[in-house]
Amino acid sequence: MEKIRRQERRIALTKILVDHPNHLFSLSFFSGLFMAAKSTVCEDVDAIRLAMEQFQLGKLETISGAAGGIKYTPVKAAIKIEEILLELAAKLSTPDRIIPGGFIYMSDILFNAQLMSPVGEVFMTRFNTSAPDYIMTVETKGIPLAYSTAKAFNLPLITVRSGSRVTEGPTVSINYVTGSSKRIQTMSVPRRAIPEGAKILIIDDFMKAGGTARGMVELAEEVGAEVVGIGVLVATAQPEEKLVKDYVPLLILQAVDEHNKITDIRPARRD
């Protein structure tokens, strides 16, 4: 095989790391892949780390020891998170997004991969220390957001459904009460989707009273899993008391003035 030049090696190394966030690669893996000495790979990693720090592209760790290696984590700096959330708030505040009933049209934003990918990395940054095993969401609009979060964590995504599917085998179902309309709904998850004792991070696109999130918590507990966090893209300011505690909203919807076409939505304050 032709010897790989340093520039080519570093480009390939960066691509592999970024495509596999939170995955620990051994130095031997890259040394064998590029047919280069471990000391050479270490020099490449140091150069890539400096570039990532300079442009706030994430964190590159070198873990020492027999079980160590190199790991890329797409964490966001606080100033970058603020930029992302302000941009989203501005997009959601345009008058043409207000639809009858005082609702905000969000589907085009939620299904825009270019917008949701960095939001997934924001959630990964906020919940990185929670060390979840799975990301959970409910069908359907929250799926792109939860998928982006799962990609940032490099974890499987579990989708809770309103009904069971014969193709998914035995399921676990619960009834829950929606927080806003007080209606009884059913949600289910395949029994084999969540191992007992797994740590679950719940991600959803919108929260008003928190009934759906509460249902997902109860469903996770029903199969013996532990919920380690709840992340929401947009939460309403009212009601102030939700049906779940310790949730993390990225944006707060203060009010929608349908008559004057004014939406007050802003990044959530962090305590």
The pLDDT, as a whole number, for residue 271 is 65
- 78-267: CATH topology is Rossmann fold (3.40.50)
The pLDDT, as a whole number, for residue 82 is 97
Structure tokens at 266: 């802003």
Q: Boundaries of CATH 3.40.50.2020 in the chain?
A: 78-267
Among 163, 154, 158, 224, CA closest to 196: 224
Structure tokens at 177: 């009460």
Supply the CATH classification number for the domain 6-73.
Answer: 1.10.10.10
Among 97, 104, 140, 109, CA closest to 253: 104
Distances (CA, A) of 23 to 33, 93, 106, 191: 16, 37, 32, 27
186-202 burial by CB neighbour count: b if 16+ within 10 A, else e? ebbbbeebbeeebbbbb
Q: Do the Cβ atoms of 155 and 132 come closer than 8 Å?
A: yes
Omega of the bond leading into 144 within 30 degrees of 0 (cis): no
DSSP 224: T
Q: Boundaries of CATH 1.10.10.10 in the chain?
A: 6-73
The pLDDT, as a whole number, for residue 156 is 97
The pLDDT, as a whole number, for residue 179 is 67
CA neighbours closer than 13 Å in the CB half-sphere of residue 136: 31
The pLDDT, as a whole number, for residue 178 is 79
User: Can you give the length of the chain in residues?
Assistant: 271
Q: What is the pLDDT along the chain (271 residues), one digit of tens a residue?
A: 567 899 999 999 999 999 999 999 999 999 999 999 999 999 999 999 999 999 999 999 999 887 789 999 999 999 999 999 999 999 999 999 999 988 999 999 999 999 999 999 999 999 999 999 999 999 989 999 999 999 999 999 999 998 777 778 889 999 988 766 778 989 999 989 999 999 999 999 999 999 999 999 999 999 999 999 999 999 999 999 999 999 999 999 999 999 999 999 999 988 6
